[in-house]
Structures are given as structure tokens and as C-alpha cells.
Amino acid sequence: MTTHVSGQVPVALTIATSDPSGGAGIQADLKTFSALGAYGTAVLVALTAQNTRGVTGIHVLPTEFIAEQVDTLVSDVRVDAVKIGMLADATVVHTVAEALRRHRDRLPSVVLDPVMVASSGDRLLTEDAVALVRTELLPLAGLVTPNLPEAAALLGTSPARTPAEVERQAAELRALGVPRVLLKGGHGDDPEESADLYLDADGAEWLRAPRIHTRHTHGTGCTLSSAIAALRPQRPDWRTAVVGAKDYLTAALAAADSLDVGGGHGPVHH
């Protein structure tokens, strides 16, 4: 197993939602953590009833119990990096933000994946919660990983269509208080490559990878953000963790067609 720079296996925490089909959510996060040499821990905030064709139901856990899971975990277990995924509604967003504030020293290196709508078209975050993600969660994250529609929703504008617009929206997100932005271009229409923009205090850099032609893309966003959380404690800085995570996702997408899971948009293969 890969070791942490201090000689220990890093501990990664995902705060997210269950996907019983195993392709996205908590299940994808834990598989990614293991594959990349981190020990995975998980706080569930909600459950979905879901397969590769879509989401039929969402059951949100009581907020006091979400808070209790975090408090109990961090009172005992050292956490080296955190990934935040699907949060379902405004009460959960607020509860998670409060937990991050309460345990600032114990929950470092927070990767915020601002999950809003599944590729199946199902809503995974209520509309009224988007503003709360912007005001409460963004300033607590070390990195935010929106796709083009999520970045637009956070900024209250329409999705970027040109590289210059992507660069401008990433800068606008940074101005909202998050130090680093990875604006994912996978929803763009370039048939040859998938280009993501990484922006931090040192400037912007385009990260390019060949576009993998598969319809099995379920869980790509979850996989990328949890790969960053797994790698951050094992890499010298955020940028190299992001580059390593993108390489991991490209390989998982390339292997997706070897899986036969469900009749819809199947999962990527870890």
C-alpha cells in the first residue's frame, strides 16, 4: 500500500450519500480511497434508491445524527483529508458547514464536490440549497470541483462556452473565498479532449486528457474529487494531487466498458 509522507497510511473521510448501484456516492469514494492507498472513512448524510438508469428516491438522515457521526469519528480518528459530495438539501449543507467549523483543526484539506444534478437528470441538491453552498461551504473548502453547469449555478449565470469564460468563472468562484478551483470541462463539447482548468493563487493551468468515448460515466465526479482527497496527503501540493487524480479518473473511464453493471449509464471501473 502507498504510504503517507509521514510514513503512515493517510486517512480520508467522505461526507456524502449512498448509491446502492456502487458507481457514485460513498461507494465510489471508498473504492477510490482504497485504490489510491488511503484508508477510507465515511459519514453518510442521505441514502438514494438508485440504479444506473436513475434515482427513484432520496432519504435524508436527521441532521443531529449527521453531526453526531462527525463528532464521534473525529474524537477518535485522525483525518488527513476530506471529500464532501452529495448533500441533498439546505439543512444538510448547514449541518456539514457547522461540523467543518466546529472541527477546523481536525478536518484539513477539504475537497468540495458541489453535486447538484446527476447525469441521469435527477436533482441531487434542492435549488434553495445552492446559495447556502456558495455562502457557507465554499469558504471552508481548500478546493472546489464544479463541472460547467455547477459553476454556473454557483455564480447565478449560464455555463461557460469558451476557454476565456471558463477562466473568468473560475476566478469569480475564487473571489467567493475558496483558494483553489478545478473547473471540469467534461460537460463541454470538444470530441477530442476533456480539459479542466485548475486555478490557485499562482495562476491558472489547463489540464488536458484525451476524451474517453464511453457511455459508462456514472460516478466520474465522485471519483475525481475523492481521488484528490486520497492523494493530497501523499503529494507535495494540491496541483500535483489534482493531476494524479485526473490520471486515475482517465484510467477508470478507459476501463469502464469492461464492466457489465446495469442497463443505463454504467459506472467507471476502479
232 touches ligand PLP by CB under 6 A = no
Among 32, 51, 147, 220, interactor with ligand PLP by CB under 6 A: 220
The answer to whether residue 91 is catalytic is no
Q: Closest approach of Cβ 237 to ligand PLP, in Å?
A: 25
Question: How near is the Cβ of 119 to ligand PLP at its closest, in Å?
Answer: 4
Catalytic residue of the set 40, 221, 244, 266: 221
150 scored as a contact of ligand PLP (CB under 6 A): no
Say whether 246 is catalytic.
Answer: no
162 is catalytic: no
Q: Does 22 sit near ligand PLP (CB under 6 A)?
A: no
**Is 184 among the residues known to form the active site?**
yes
Q: For the CB of residue 227, give the shortest distance to ligand PLP in the complex, in Å.
A: 13
39-73: burial string, b at 16+ Cβ within 10 Å, e else: bbbbbbbbbbebbbeebeebebbebeebbebbeeb
CA 250, 13, 4, 249: dihedral to nearest 10 degrees?
0
Q: Which residue in the set 221, 233, 244, 266 belongs to the binding site for ligand PLP (CB under 6 A)? A: 221
Active-site entry in 23, 48, 222, 246: 222
Q: Are 220 and 260 in contact (CB under 8 A)?
A: no
* Least distance between ligand PLP and beta carbon 44 (Å): 10
Q: Is residue 253 part of the contact set for ligand PLP (CB under 6 A)?
A: no
Q: Is residue 269 close enough to count as binding ligand PLP by CB under 6 A?
A: no
48 binds ligand PLP (CB under 6 A): yes
264 is known as an active-site residue:
no
d(CA 144, CA 230): 15
Residue 236's SS3 state is: coil
CA-CA-CA-CA torsion sign (18, 23, 29, 33): positive
181 binds ligand PLP (CB under 6 A): no
Options 16-24, 36-44, 69-77, 192-200: segment touching ligand PLP (CB under 6 A) = 16-24
Contacting ligand PLP within 53-92 (CB under 6 A): 85-86
Strand order of the sheet with strand 181-183?
54-60, 39-51, 11-18, 81-84, 110-112, 143-144, 181-183, 193-200, 203-210
Q: Does 266 bind ligand PLP (CB under 6 A)?
A: no
CA proximity to 139, closest of 154, 125, 127: 154
Determine whether 203 is an active site residue.
no
Torsion of CA 71, 72, 78, 82, to 10 degrees: -50
Which listed residue (95, 126, 220, 223) is catalytic?
Answer: 220
Q: Please give the grid coordinates belonging to residue 63.
A: 441532521
Q: Which amino acid is at 211?
A: R
Dihedrals φ, ψ of 197, to 5°?
-105, 125
Instruction: Pick from 119, 126, 226, 234 the residue near ligand PLP by CB under 6 A.
Output: 119
- Residue type (1 letter), 57: G
Give the HSE-up count for residue 51: Cα atoms under 13 Å, Cβ half-sphere.
6
In the complex, the residues that contact ligand PLP under the rule CB under 6 A are 16-17, 19, 24-25, 48, 50, 85-86, 115, 118-120, 124, 218-222
* Positions marked active-site: 184, 217, 219-222
